[in-house]
Every structure is written in C-alpha cells, then in structure tokens.
Amino acid sequence: MAPSPCRVKHHLSSPIVSWVEDSSSMAGISHFSDSTMRDDDYEPGVSYLSRNLHDMHISVRLVEEFMELAKENTSSNLETCGILGSSFKDGTYYVTTLVVPKQESTAHSCQASNEEEIHAILAEQSLVPGGWIHTHPTQTCFLSSIDLHTQYSYQVMLPEAVAMVIAPTDQTRNYGIFRLTDPGGMAVLRECKESGFHQHPETPNGSAIYESCSHVYFNPNLRFEIVDLRTS
C-alpha cells in the first residue's frame, strides 16, 4: 500500500508542467558554479565524465524549502536528509520531487529508514533518484567519508546524481552541490569496504575524490513537490 504523506507542498510559477518548457520559461535559469572551493576541503578539478553528463535542473526554491523543513533538527544539532526525485525530458533531468523520509539522525550523520516508502513515491510518479540533500548543522560544507559512500550508491545508478550539502553555519559557503569524480573517486569508493568515518586512499589517477558539479542549473520556472514522510 502506498504511504500517506503528512504534508505535500507545490511550487509552481506558471501553469506549465515542470519539465515541459517553452522559450518563455527559460528566462532566469542560472548555472550553478562554486567559486568558493577551499584547498582544505578538496582539490578543484573537473573529471572527464562530468563534461559528458546530461544537465540537471533544480528549483531555485528547493534549498530554501529544505532548510525550513530541517530547521527544528538543525537547531538541535541533528542532520536532516532528503531524496531528489527527477524526471528525464529531452536530454535533461528535472528534480520535481523532494522526499523527506523517516530517518535516524545524529550531529554527524543521517540514515533514511522505511525505504520502501521512498520507492513507492518515486515509482508512483515514474521518477528516478537524482541524488540527495542533507544538512551539516554545525560543520562546514563538504562530503564526509560516510557521505561519499552514500553518494556512490546514487551515482553508480545514475552518473548525473548529485549530493547537496546545506551548511548554515559555514561562513564561506552555506551550500554545495557535489559528485564523485569519475573514474577517480568512483574507483576508490567501489573498492572501499569500510564503514563509519574513515580515511580514503588517493585516487588511481591522482584526481580529487569528489568535485563541485558543473551540470546543474537553478530553474525559477520549475514546479516541484515536497513529500514529508517523517510523521506519516
């Protein structure tokens, strides 16, 4: 039986369905770029495959809305996570659904539970997991070793999948959109059998293990839906 979400919100700037765009709906679309990369986080670089990925469009409201949903956890120093449901149309992925699952959270980790509910929501709308989003309540904006393994599970299924990190206390950048480098980072995570927080070896080709995404665009015309399953 499909779950009954406790809350569903819609954001729509026009009657046009989210991923059916015409020339007028292209106005205001901006390319995500990270100009605040820091050497102590990771080395900047663009992997070979990131130049050959399909574009991904994300609503300009998604980050703001997720921060609002996570506010109570954030004030309690607990992480919050969500899954990005995406549709594919004319060579582009559109994130049209944000699913906030039941979850177990600590100050440094967040694990979704009742994953069958997530799959039911995505299947009902014929969506694929386009990545995930989570908060770092008091940490800086980066991917931890646990985050890297989570991202691998998404990216091995969909090369375009992204990891969005919201870090409200980071004074340099309060959010980032990342992916594992390919082949470098993907090769390291493919071979790693460790769990918990741990160090990863250098990549075989000497690249960074992850990078800021270059295929993501913020779209003000994109309709998206929020499904919060935490109290359903």
What one-character DSSP code corresponds to residue 197? S
Whether domain 7-14+45-228 has CATH 3.50.50.60: no
pLDDT, one tens digit per residue, over 141-167 is 999 999 999 999 999 999 999 999 999
d(C-alpha 152, C-alpha 188), whole Å: 10
pLDDT of 194 reads 87
pLDDT, one tens digit per residue, over 25-38 is 556 788 877 644 43
pLDDT of 23 reads 30
Three-class SS of residue 149? helix
pLDDT of 50 reads 54
pLDDT, one tens digit per residue, over 68-87 is 999 999 999 999 999 999 99
d(C-alpha 138, C-alpha 20), whole Å: 39
pLDDT of 31 reads 83
Q: How far is CA 122 from CA 51, 78, 84, in A?
A: 28, 26, 9
Contacts of 195 (CB under 8 A, 6+ apart): 146, 149
Give average pLDDT by consecutive 10-residue segment, the chain, 232 residues: 45 34 56 54 43 90 94 97 96 95 94 94 96 97 96 98 97 95 96 91 93 94 92 74
Under a CB-based contact definition with an 8 Å cutoff, are residues 115 and 154 in contact? no
Q: What angle do CA 111, 93, 133 make, to 5 degrees?
A: 20
pTM exceeds cut of 0.85: no
pLDDT of 26 reads 59
pLDDT of 231 reads 80
pLDDT of 186 reads 97
Under a CB-based contact definition with an 8 Å cutoff, are residues 162 and 196 in contact? no
pLDDT of 25 reads 55
Closest CA to 47 of 218, 193, 203, 217: 203
